[in-house]
Amino acid sequence: MNRHLENGDAEFGLLANGSSTGWRVSVDESLDSVNHWSLEIDGPQFYLVVQLKDLASVAATLNFLRNPTPTAPPVTLGKFGFAWASLVWDDEPPNRCFVVIQTGKSALRLTLQPEDVEMLKEAFQQVVADLPEDLMKPNKESPPSKRAQ
Amino acid sequence: MSPGLADKVVEQIGKAGLPISGSTPFVPRLTKNRRGDYVIVKQAVSIGPKKGKKGFLDSQGRIWLRDRAHADVPDHRDVQLRGGEEYFRVDMNGNELR
């Protein structure tokens, strides 16, 4: 791992961002490494940064937020340390969504209310519009595909 | 706003809600990425209770963090000095809060 990343003094470049009311979403690129991006979600209830496997996952997240489907598989936001952070729809109304970070017997679940989902969707729309199209190709590395528990 | 900033950078500053007016406006530190585009530099705070939170680096090396209303202060920016050793507050209009 890069020394800067370990020490926390790494510099990033803002690649794309979006906002809606209380939410800010941005994709930052490492200035030291090739193809190293992070997704930052700053909202009223929490602040989250995950490492993206590719930029196509940002568009996948937007598609997920646009289609509330309880049976849909979770969408992967990115890596949180050794765990994957995902979004999963609730299976009962209203259209709540959960951010789930789970590894082994440990889990963190954050609830997004329907109004938060709408705002996040708007912010992600702006982020996707801001991203360079030539960087949007998917990476072949596969996160877990099973539905989060 | 500094003259000569690319439209994309100006738009990103607006979406981030960073103040561009007042007595203490945000003036971004820019660098070129690997594609040769100018981007706003971000950095995480390295010390104190906000350690690990990323903010926008300004031309003086200060990190601008977003903070919500609390303690009778409206939504504002915490401008972190020397990686977070000290900070001061700036309101959304770019004026220092005391």
B 34-53 residues inside an 8 A Cβ radius of A = 34-35, 39-44, 46, 51-53
> Hey, what amino acid is at B32?
K
Q: Which of A26, A31, A126 comes nearest B33 by C-beta? A: A31
Overall number of domains in chain B: 1
Model's pTM, two decimal places? 0.90
Whether this model's ipTM surpasses 0.90 comes out as yes
DSSP string, chain A: --HHHHHT--EEEEEEEEEETTEEEEEEEESSSTT-EEEEEE-SS-EEEEEES-THHHHHHHHHHHS--TTSPPEEEEEETTEEEEEEE-SSTTT-EEEEEEETTEEEEEEE-HHHHHHHHHHHHHHHHHS-GGG-PPPS-----SPP-
pLDDT, one tens digit per residue, over A17-66 is: 999 999 999 999 999 888 899 999 999 989 999 999 999 999 999 999 99
Q: Which of A11, A15, A42 comes nearest B43 by C-beta? A: A11
Give the per-residue pLDDT at A118.
97
Which structural domain range is residue B61 located in?
7-97
pLDDT, one tens digit per residue, over A110-148 is: 999 999 999 999 999 999 999 988 887 777 655 655 544
Q: Does some domain include residue B75? A: yes
Q: Does domain A3-132 have CATH number 2.30.31?
A: yes
What residue of B is the nearest CA neighbor of A40? B54
Q: What are the structural domain ranges in chain A?
A: 3-132
> Hey, what amino acid is at A21?
T
Dihedral sign for Cα A99, B70, B76, A6, please.
negative
Cα–Cα nearest to A50, from A5, A100, A85: A85
Pairing between β-strand A106-112 and β-strand B30-32 as defined by DSSP bridges: unpaired
Q: Does some domain include residue B49? A: yes
Distance separating alpha carbons of residues A104 and A91, to the nearest angstrom: 23
**Interface touch A24/B16, C-beta < 8 Å:** yes
CB atoms within 10 A of CB A70: 11
**Dihedral over alpha carbons B67, B68, B74, B77 (to 10 degrees):** 10
Per-residue confidence band for B36, with pLDDT thresholds at 50, 70 and 90? very high
Tokens of A15: 């690649």
Cis peptide before A94 (omega within 30 of 0): yes
Q: Please list every residue in chain A whose beta carbon sits closer than 8 Å to the beta carbon of residue B43.
A: 9-12
Q: Does some domain include residue B84? A: yes
Cα–Cα nearest to A127, from A23, A1, A22, A8: A23
